[in-house]
Amino acid sequence: MRRSAVFVDAGYLFAQGSTALTGSKKNRANLKLDEKAALTALIKIATKKTGGADLLRVYWYDGALGYRGPTLEQQAVARADNVKLRLGFINNQVQQKGVDSLIVTDLIDLARNQAISDAVLLSGDEDVRIGVQIAQSFGVRVHLLGIEPSRGSQSKQLMHEADTTTEWNKATIAKFLAVRSPSPSTIAKPGATTPPAEAKQIVSGAKLATALDLAVKEFVAELDGNQVQNLKSHWAENAGIPPEHDGPLLARSRDMIGRNLVAQEKRRVREIFKSRIEGQS
């Protein structure tokens, strides 16, 4: 029986995907991924390139900050059917490490155990070439998937080793990846300057509750549907606000009242945030 597996280097997907969409690499925080649409596109290309081989699973490789654990986006990928999330780490220079070795190890193990006949690989790194070579020695056909312009984003040696090569264009990437619109608070107005922190009005007393509620309301309004749903899924299994939202939320509240929040105010802001998210339809 012929069976395939898909290997996704998420770092490559985001970096080269954003370049295809905009002409330059964008920060991950500014990108919005539709996980279901991305997985659908990957499985579709796997079916096409392997002639309809059964899917074993999709292996999704990404980096994580050790003290934070997986992000909401990564958790959403992990919850999807037929997907295994494999995490390397992010170093102090915000560089993804350990991912290539995970790809190579899984590719070789699956080939050696005759678990797959075909591998679809979305990556561009020269370091995974050895995994491709060894998998092929066990009879696995490797189908390399790139993002335009793949000649500039993928190792030539890796492309030469692959049994087939395919390039996704901008139109395909746009089906599951987008650049987030900047929030109103981050758009600079002509001639406007940001006042120093000490010049901001300090809010206290009766106005404090209103100011904190407004800060949370504005923050929630800037989240998209995927982020809201991922937060709800997170709270079904975990407590607390994920770090990628908690820090910016407290910073927005701090800026709103013109001073650092005390512990009680932080708790209140988090309570309001969770209540507003859970109230979203």
Percent of the chain with pLDDT over 90: 50
* Cα separation, 274 vs 235, whole angstroms: 9
User: Mean pLDDT over residues 144-171, rounded?
Assistant: 92
Question: pLDDT tens for residues 96-153?
Answer: 677 899 999 999 999 999 999 999 999 999 999 999 999 999 999 999 999 998 777 8
Residue 196's pLDDT band (boundaries 50, 70, 90)?
very low
The tokens 């209540």 sit on which residue?
Answer: 275
User: SS3 string of 116-166?
Assistant: CCEEEEECCCHHHHHHHHHHHHCCCEEEEEEECCHHHHCCHHHHHHCCEEE
Tell me if 175 sits within 8 A of 37, measured CB to CB: yes
State the pLDDT at residue 194.
41
Structure tokens at 171: 């139109």
**pLDDT value for 70:** 84
- In 10 A of CB 203, how many CB atoms? 18
Task: Report the CATH number of the 3-179 domain.
Answer: 3.40.50.1010
Predicted pLDDT at 230 = 82
| pLDDT score recorded for residue 184 | 47
pLDDT 10s digits, 180-194: 875 544 444 444 444
| Domain parsing of the chain, residue ranges | 3-179, 184-278
Q: What is the pLDDT of residues 61-97, one digit of tens each?
A: 998 876 667 888 889 999 999 999 999 876 555 566 7
Structure tokens at 100: 């290539």
Asked whether the beta carbons of 58 and 5 are under 8 A apart, the reply is yes
Q: Residue 36's CB: how many other CB atoms inside 10 A?
A: 14
